[in-house]
Amino acid sequence: MTSRGSPVGAPERFLTMLAAERGAAANTLAAYRRDLDAAADELGDLVMADGDALASLGEAWSAVSPATLARRCSALRQFYGFLVDEGLREDDPSPALPRARARRPLPRVLSRDEVERFLTQAEEEAAGDRPESVRLLALLELLYGSGLRASELVSLPVTAVPRDAPFLHVTGKGGQQRMVPVSTRARAVLSRWLAVRKGTSRHLFPSRGESGHLTRVRLFQLLRELAARAGLDPERVSPHVLRHAFATHLLEGGADLRVLQTLLGHADIATTQIYTHVESARLVALVNARHPLARRG
């Protein structure tokens, strides 16, 4: 291993670079920090660690899940690449890192019938225009109807709600801006929510004290409580499951993968391709029906 000493604060400099050059969000930076801290707990000085030390992490982290192992090793590869780029090391020991042998799990998805039961329950509860019930229906419509992340949804400002154009202005990961279509029914529910919403908070879904917004934890709780009332297994329901359902059901309906990437705010289409598992049967039928060789058979 060759190194130019052990510069103080190299992990902090790495995190600063992620924030400044890649626009990494606060949650992303916190995750990178935890992964680097986990490695430092095992190896001590990360800057001085050699290939043998990194290889030992496979045994040290044998109890963690394949996904956690893959994430930690990814953080370390980027960290050592940064050290080399900055001239803080002459070599990159990251090829010695252990590799997780696991396929990325397919996302949990609710069926269309289950989503319909979910929406029906929310609509029935909101029939009397009780503010809490109308708010929950609006949250559900935007999660399933627009595919928003939980963090994007709860932090929406009132100014994001469209007046004439059927789009929401959303700030996603890394501060990236995108426009998300809002269905006619979702716009109608949003209008109902704005009519019964109290206070002057700048947030579309304010917290009780109005100093902040509804938290992701509370959103999670509200959805699980609604799922139980709708006769669904609460353990199968979360904001991200509804985002998965949005993507999967759009693909089933014939949506283009690139369009879906834009709607979901994915930086890399490889992330969006996880949803193509729903397309296998439809694609086989398409080839059998349309390909010239099918007609020869």
Give the tens place of pLDDT for each residue, 224-244. Answer: 999 999 999 998 899 988 988
Q: Helices 257-264 and 239-252 meet at what angle, rounded to 10?
A: 160
Q: What is the CA radius of gyration of the chain?
A: 23
Q: Give the Cα separation of 5 and 83 in Å (integer).
A: 12
Q: Helices 66-85 and 10-21 meet at what angle, rounded to 10?
A: 90
123 Cβ partners below 8 Å, 6+ apart? 137
Domains 10-96 and 112-283 share a fold: no
Catalytic residue ranges: 149, 173, 240, 243, 266, 275
pLDDT tens digits, residue range 39-53? 999 888 898 889 888
Q: Give the Cα separation of 36 and 5 in Å (integer).
A: 19
pLDDT of 119: 93
CATH (residue range 10-96): 1.10.150.130
Cβ atoms within 10 Å, residue 286: 12
pLDDT tens digits, residue range 60-116? 888 888 878 888 998 999 999 999 988 888 889 989 888 866 555 555 678 889 999
What are the boundaries of each domain within the chain?
10-96, 112-283
Q: Give the Cα separation of 85 and 91 in Å (integer).
A: 10
Lowest mean pLDDT among 4-8, 120-124, 175-179, 279-283: 4-8
CATH (residue range 112-283): 1.10.443.10
Cβ atoms within 10 Å, residue 20: 9
Cβ distance 204 to 161 under 8 Å?
yes
What's the token pair of residue 245?
């359902």
